[in-house]
Amino acid sequence: MACRIVFVLFPGFQQLDLAGPMAVFEVARLARPGSYDWRLVASAPPAVRSSAGVAWPVQALPRRLGGGDTVMVIGGDGVDAACRDARLVAWLQRASRSGARIASICSGSLLLAAAGLLDERTATTHWSRSRQFATDFPAVRLQPDRIYVREPALRRRQLPELWTSAGMTAGIDLCLALVAHDHGEEVAKQAARQLVVERRRPGGQSQFSPLLDLQRPEGRFGALLDEVRRDLRQDLGVEALAALACMSPRHFARCFRAETGATPAQAVERLRVEAARAALEQGAASVLRVAVDCGFGNTERMRRAFLRLLGRPPAALRSAAA
């Protein structure tokens, strides 16, 4: 039986957020006939205009969904208005109780958050929306550096399986992962080859980080992060960082996340990984020396951070730089 993909559109949606995922399921269906079908829906049929000005035909929001369905909310500049669409928000809430799998592409995760579907769960979004997301939806465990995040279903709490992705092309990564989850790695690899994309990006699970933009003068914590970069070996726990910022730890952690979209610990780890990656790519003589100089303390801790943020170990970067 085919999995039905219900693509949810709204005025001002981003066409690439739709076309990329749709192409993944199309080529997966060629590799595994009958595996997927799909429909485009919106709260105001029969057509929805994208941010590029092209009108796409859509059907009404379906009244019934089931465990074989995947609801995929597309992102785009119109998401802020869509979050105020009471009919669409209410439909998403019903969809989450239907047993359907729920997913979002790019900033579509803001619409899931507005419906309360991401509270106390882990999610990601496009890096440019991370600060807004963290401010508007503090109950969500935002992972701003991830390309995509999967949250398993919690049946006892009647919470659906959730998939969220970062920027536009990250939607392709998410959908390839869905295909691998549904039909196995070989089908996902066939789909990736047909699309001429990586099945798994060399960059792993990391997207462009908003932390890299905090060097600009108006960044509230720019001076603090400059101090952190000067000596990554120092104590960089939240209490120490709060003291440097002349703030209480709780107030500092709240303000920092609102500003950057990341927790202080996530920011420190990201800065350490960036410094270590640069050192390795420049031909540093010793992986252990890099681990110590960048504040990891040992190579195993650095290796775990690299796998988490870059999707590959330090040794792979040394090999590439050799």
Write out 302-316 in H/E/C secondary structure: HHHHHHHHHCCCHHH
What pLDDT is attached to residue 217? 42
CA distance 248 to 242: 6
CA distance 96 to 245: 41
CA distance 89 to 82: 8
Asked if 144 contacts 130 with a C-beta cutoff of 8 angstroms, the reply is: yes
CA distance 165 to 172: 9
Question: Tokens 């949606």, residue?
Answer: 13
CA distance 184 to 170: 20
Q: Which residues of 212-232 are buried (b: 16+ CB within 10 A; e: fewer)?
A: eebeeeebebeebbeebeeeb
Residue-wise pLDDT for 91-122, tens only, equals: 999 999 998 999 999 999 999 999 999 999 99
Total count of residues recorded for the chain: 322
**Domains, in order of start, for the chain:** 3-195 (3.40.50.880), 210-321 (1.10.10.60)
pLDDT tens per residue across all 322 residues of the chain = 689 999 999 999 999 999 999 999 999 999 999 999 999 999 999 999 999 999 999 999 999 998 889 999 999 999 999 999 999 999 999 999 998 999 999 999 999 999 999 999 999 999 889 889 989 999 999 887 788 899 998 877 788 899 999 888 899 999 999 999 999 989 999 999 999 887 766 434 555 454 545 544 446 788 888 889 889 999 999 999 999 999 999 999 999 887 777 789 988 998 898 889 888 888 777 899 999 999 999 999 999 998 887 777 888 776 655 5
